[in-house]
Structure 1
Amino acid sequence: MKKTLQSIANWLNVDCGNFGETVVTGVSIDTRTIKKGDLFIPFKGENVNGHQYVAKAFENGAAATLWMKNEPNPPSNVPILFVEDSEIALQDMARQYRDEHKAIFIGITGSNGKTSSKDILASALSPYYKVQKTIGNFNNQLGLPITILSLDEDTEIAVLEMGMSGFGEIEFLSTLARPHYAVITNIGEAHMQDLGSREGIAKAKFEIIKGLDEHGILFYDGDEPLLQNLVGKEPNLNVESFGFKQENSLVASNIVSTEKGSRFDVRGELNGEFFIPVLGKHQVKNALNAMLIAKSLGLRDDQIHFGIEQAKLTDMRMQLIPARKGILFINDAYNAAPTSMTAAIQFVQTTDMRSEKWLVLGDMLELGENEKQFHESMANAIDEKEVKRICLFGPRMKWLYDKLENKFAKDNLIYTANDYNVIINYIEQHANENSLILLKGSRGMKLETIIESFK
């Protein structure tokens, strides 16, 4: 973004004084990461008032700042825009910039796989377009506007991740971004405590169609009956489905995993054998929506082949990490819900990468009143014939431990509520060059801490 302060003032319908020619090249809400030319946006929270950092923002290179009108003692003789509410101003700026931008906007939501789908799609399109994507988890009512305002003016494809915890949030993000294409990766159990049921989760994710361009397309997990039902109620909606069931627009089968990635066959909108350098059947499904979008954009089959072979995921998503003693870790510890944990467990149990398979599982958070049932249900996903050793971490994993206690030998199953060292020492004692160790848990469990001891 490269705008004069006068242009931004016009967006917000405010006065910029004598600083209209000041050039703004980005936005920032954090003085520690602010770049020269950024517009600083101070927020006022319960514990921190961002206005007290405005002077620091200018010291670090800010070109201008917002200032809430009800906040006393504004600085003088600096480029400043007075607004009623910083958050609303940020969103209004993003809305205006989106209206002016010529890029194709793609919105991605879902219970699991948002970030992986974003990464695979951006990788697949990058050889042919200038692509920018959501960085990190900037996917909410503050992060999405910042992402939009961070787009270069010549960006051709904007891949935007959209997260939520309650009803109305995806609708807000979708109507702000107005995507040309929308993706719903799947429906899981995350945020069950806020949305009450999987039906509620599906309804909340389906809000992404609210801002979808009238000629746009929704790409969705066609294996999910809840999404099929919602699609059936929108006869005028342009849709493409992906999955493993034969009736989908794009179907994957014959999935083979190696240490280099996943090879699979597809049938439907594309046909043939494809490869992604990513592990897991569930990641193949995430690749399918990228392939459908690439096809809709007009890429040839050979270009799609090449594009998805460049896929690179954000760390801690089925990430292979060779370690001391010849141990091979799969770091899938960024987040977890029953659906994604089951998928990761199934991958480990069916791969032939290593002969001795381990599970290191941490608590799944935000599952609501049925969290005990969800943790216990993981016992059904674990095949004692395929898994040699299990380490469970976190107070909720005690429920799973109790379910598994009679299935595994005492020396092959351990549990700790909060001590990483119990698991680290156990791995140190028993793991070797034949061991493949999956780490999977919610973000708050920070299971990647365990790997640090073995790098």
Structure 2
Amino acid sequence: MKKTLKQLAAWLKIDEQLHEDVTVTGISIDTRTIQAGDLFVPFRGEAVNGHKFVEQAFEKGAAASLWLNDEPNPPENRPLIFVDDAEQALQKMAIAYRSEHKATFIGITGSNGKTSAKDIVASSLSPYFKVQKTIGNFNNQLGLPITILQLDEDTEISVLEMGMSGFGEIELLSRIARPHLAIITNIGEAHMQDLGSRAGIAQAKYEITQGLLEDGFLIYDGDEPLLQELVAQDPYTETKAFGFDEAHDLFATQITATEQGSSFTAAGIINGDFTIPILGKHQVKNTLAAMLVCKAMNLTDEQIRTAFAQIELTDMRMQLVSKGSLLFINDAYNAAPTSMRAAIDFMQSTTIRPEKWLVLGDMLELGDDEQAFHEALAEAIDAQAVHSICLYGPRMKWLYNQLASTFDSAHLIYSEADYMPIVQKIQAEANEESIILLKGSRGMKLETILQQLS
């Protein structure tokens, strides 16, 4: 983005006298990561007032800054834009820049898999287009506008992740982004405490269609009945379904896994054999969504196949990690019942190594039914397929109690708040025949186990 301060003020419909006109080339809300030429946006919270850092932002190279009208003592002789609400100003600027930009915008949401889907879509398109995607967790009412405002003017495709915790949030993000294509990866149980039910979660995710352009379409998990119902009730949105059922527009069969990734056969809109450097049946499903995007961007099957070799996921998503002779699958970025079961199913079916270990941490934000969700994981665990289970966190005590009659103490341990019993068990008993899954919610930080292994 390269806009003068007067142009930004025009976006915000502000006519006040500015100290001077300068060129802004980016946006920042954090002086620790600010870049030269950025517009600094100070927020006033309960604990911190960002206006205290405006001078520091200028010292670090900021070209200009917003300033709230009711905030006293604005700095003199600094290029400022005065606004009533910093968050609304950020969103208005993003809407204005989006309306001018010529890129194809792709919005992605879902209970699980949206970051992986974002990475797969961006990696698949990057060999053929200039692509920019959401970085980190910049997927909310602040992060998404910042991502849009950071787009280079010659970017051809913008891949935007959209997160939420309640109703109305995805609709807001969708109306800001106005995507040409929208993806719903799946419906799980995350945010159950805020949305009440899986049906409520599905409704909240389906809000992504509210900003969808008229000639765009929705790509959705056709295996999810809740999404099938919403699609059936929506005569106005063009849709394409992906999954494992032959009735879908694109489906996958013959999925196999190796230490190099997954291979599968696609059928429907795209036909043929494909290989991706990612583990997991659920990641194959995310790849199907990306394939539909690639088809919409007029890539050939061979171009898609070639691009798949370059796919890279954000860390801690079914990530293979070697520690000496030990092999880990680090899937510790987040967890909910749906993704937990998918990871367990993968472990029990994989032939990468014969001795399967499950290291599972608490699943958070599940609301009043959290005990039932943890206990129900016992149904997904096959005692004949799993060698050892290590459980971590106070909520995993519920699963431990369910498994105690099936696994003896030599193959099942529980630790409420200390990683070391699990670290010590792995060090003492795991070997070159072992493959070890780390899976838990972000707050459980199961990657600490990897870090503590000598």
- Bin of the TM-score, shorter chain as denominator length: over 0.9
SS in 1 for 2:427: helix
Superposed CA RMSD in Å reads 0.9
CA offsets, 1:419-445, max 9 Å, x none?
A: 011211111111111111000000000
Amino acid at match of 2:447: E
**In the alignment, what sits opposite 1:26?**
26
**In the alignment, what sits opposite 1:6?**
6
**In the alignment, what sits opposite 1:369?**
368
1:73-88 correspondence runs (5 A) = 73-88=73-88
Q: Is the 8 A contact 2:118 2:161 kept in 1?
A: yes
Q: In the aligned structure 2, how far is the partner of 1:370 from the partner of 1:337?
A: 12
**In the alignment, what sits opposite 1:112?**
112
Q: In the aligned structure 2, how far is the partner of 1:178 from the partner of 1:164?
A: 17
SS in 2 for 1:228: helix
1:321 and 2:321 matched: yes
Q: In the aligned structure 2, how far is the partner of 1:16 from the partner of 1:111?
A: 44
1:25-104 correspondence runs (5 A) = 25-104=25-104
Q: Is the 8 A contact 2:18 2:80 kept in 1?
A: no
Single out whichever of 425-434 and 119-128 deviates more from structure 2: 425-434
Q: Is the 8 A contact 2:21 2:79 kept in 1?
A: no
**In the alignment, what sits opposite 2:207?**
207
Deviation at 1:309, TM superposition (A): 2.4
Q: Is the 8 A contact 2:118 2:159 kept in 1?
A: yes
Q: Is the 8 A contact 2:140 2:164 kept in 1?
A: yes
1:379 and 2:368 matched: no
Amino acid at match of 1:406: S
Q: How many residues align?
A: 454
Q: In the aligned structure 2, how far is the partner of 1:308 from the partner of 1:211?
A: 29
Q: In the aligned structure 2, how far is the partner of 1:153 from the partner of 1:85?
A: 26
Amino acid at match of 1:212: L
Q: Is the 8 A contact 1:26 1:38 kept in 2?
A: yes
Q: Is the 8 A contact 2:19 2:77 kept in 1?
A: no
CA offsets, 1:379-404, max 9 Å, x none?
A: 01111111101100000000000000
TM-score scaled to structure 1, two decimals?
0.99
Deviation at 1:454, TM superposition (A): 2.9
**In the alignment, what sits opposite 1:346?**
345
Q: Is the 8 A contact 2:361 2:392 kept in 1?
A: yes
Amino acid at match of 2:14: V
1:335 and 2:325 matched: no
**In the alignment, what sits opposite 2:295?**
295
Amino acid at match of 1:87: E
Q: In the aligned structure 1, how far is the partner of 2:236 from the partner of 2:297?
A: 21
CA offsets, 1:54-76, max 9 Å, x none?
A: 11111111110000011111100
**In the alignment, what sits opposite 1:225?**
225
1:227-242 correspondence runs (5 A) = 227-242=227-242
Runs of 4+ in 1 over 3 A off after TM superposition: 15-21
SS in 1 for 2:6: helix
Deviation at 1:297, TM superposition (A): 1.3
1:405 and 2:404 matched: yes
1:157 and 2:147 matched: no
1:163-178 correspondence runs (5 A) = 163-178=163-178
Q: Is the 8 A contact 2:36 2:60 kept in 1?
A: yes
Q: In the aligned structure 2, how far is the partner of 1:265 from the partner of 1:159?
A: 26
Q: In the aligned structure 1, how far is the partner of 2:32 from the partner of 2:80?
A: 20
1:126 and 2:135 matched: no
Identity %, equivalent residues:
65
Question: What are the ranges of 5 or more consecutive residues in structure 1 without an aligned counterpart?
Answer: none
Q: Is the 8 A contact 1:6 1:16 kept in 2?
A: no
**In the alignment, what sits opposite 2:308?**
308
Q: Is the 8 A contact 1:16 1:79 kept in 2?
A: no
Q: In the aligned structure 2, how far is the partner of 1:386 from the partner of 1:277?
A: 24
Amino acid at match of 1:268: G
Question: What are the ranges of 5 or more consecutive residues in structure 2 without an aligned counterpart?
Answer: none
Q: In the aligned structure 1, how far is the partner of 2:107 from the partner of 2:118?
A: 9
SS in 1 for 2:21: coil
Amino acid at match of 2:104: I
Deviation at 1:224, TM superposition (A): 0.5
Deviation at 1:235, TM superposition (A): 1.7
Deviation at 1:16, TM superposition (A): 6.0
Deviation at 1:19, TM superposition (A): 4.7
Amino acid at match of 1:267: A
SS in 2 for 1:241: strand
Amino acid at match of 2:334: N
**In the alignment, what sits opposite 1:394?**
393
